[in-house]
Chains A and B, each alone.
Chain A
Amino acid sequence: ELKVEQNPLFLSMQEGKNYTIYCNYSTTSDRLYWYRQDPGKSLESLFVLLSNGAVKQEGRLMASLDTKARLSTLHITAAVHDLSATYFCAVERINNNDMRFGAGTRLTVKP
C-alpha cells in the first residue's frame, strides 16, 4: 500500500527565514507533486517531479526528489507572508490509478 508521510504538520516561520518540508513515501512511484492550498480553495499545482535527482524552482520555493530514498523536499527561501498556506505533497502510481496525499503542512509566516 502506498503511504505518504509529510512533516512537519505545522510550521510557523519568521519572514526572511529558510525552512524545509519533507515528504517520504513507501513504494516506488511515478510522479511526485507539490501543491499549495489556501483556506476554502482547491489545490494549486506547484511542482511535478518525475525522476531521481529532479530539482525545480519557482520563486522562493524549490522542490527536489530522491527516488532511492523515496524522499522529496520543498525548501522555502527567505519566507514572506504571502507564502502562508497549507502545502501538500502527493505521490502517484499511474498504472494503479493511485494518488496519495501527505497530511499537509500548515505554514504560517509571521512578520
Chain B
Amino acid sequence: GAVVSQHPSWVICKSGTSVKIECRSLDFQATTMFWYRQFPKQSLMLMATSNEGSKATYEQGVEKDKFLINHASLTLSTLTVTSAHPEDSSFYICSARVVQQFFGPGTRLTVL
C-alpha cells in the first residue's frame, strides 16, 4: 500500500512554455501533499505544501505565480511550472502524507 505516482516521468519543453506535473496517491487519500525540487547532486528542497481544497503554502523564495499548485481532490495534486526557463530544469518529487510521507517516483524536467 501507500503508493504515490507521478506523471509524466520526464518532460522536455521549450523555454516559455508551461508544464503540468500530476501527483496521485493510488491507494489512500491524502489531505496534504508536498512538492520538492532536487537539482543535480543536491538534496531535496521543499517547495510547497498542498492542502486539499485550500491554497498551497509556499516556502520562502519559491514564486507562487510561477509554480502553480492545485490540490483538487484527496488523491490528486498538480504542479504547473509556468513560463518555464532553463533554470527550472530539475527533478521534481511529490509526496503524500498518511501517517508518514510517501514519495512519488519523480519527474525530470528539462527546459531547452
Q: Which residues of A contact B (CB under 8 A)?
A: 31, 33, 35, 40-43, 45, 48, 88, 90, 92, 97-104
Contact = CB atoms under 8 A, between A and B. Distances in A.
Contact of A99 (B42, B101, B106, B108): B101
A97 B47 CA distance: 12
8 contacts: A42-B103, A42-B106, A43-B44, A48-B100, A97-B32, A101-B43, A103-B43, A104-B43
Contact of B100 (A33, A40, A100, A101): A33
Interface residues of B, number: 18
Which 9 A-B residue pairs are closest in the complex by CB-CB distance?
A: A42-B106, A97-B49, A43-B103, A101-B43, A42-B105, A101-B44, A103-B43, A104-B43, A42-B103
Contacts of B108: 40
B111 interface: no
Contacts of A98: 46
Contacts of B100: 31, 33, 45, 48, 92
A45 B43 contact: no
Decide if the interface of chain B is mainly helix, strand, loop or mixed: strand
Interface in B95-109: 100-106, 108
A45 B46 contact: no
A4 to B, nearest CB: 9
Given A42-B93, A97-B57, A88 B104 contact: no
Contacts of A99: 34, 46, 101
A48 B102 CA distance: 11
Given A88-B43, A103-B43, A104-B43, A45 B103 contact: yes
B96 to A, nearest CB: 12
Contacts of B102: 45
A49 B45 CA distance: 21
A41 B106 contact: yes
Contacts of B45: 101
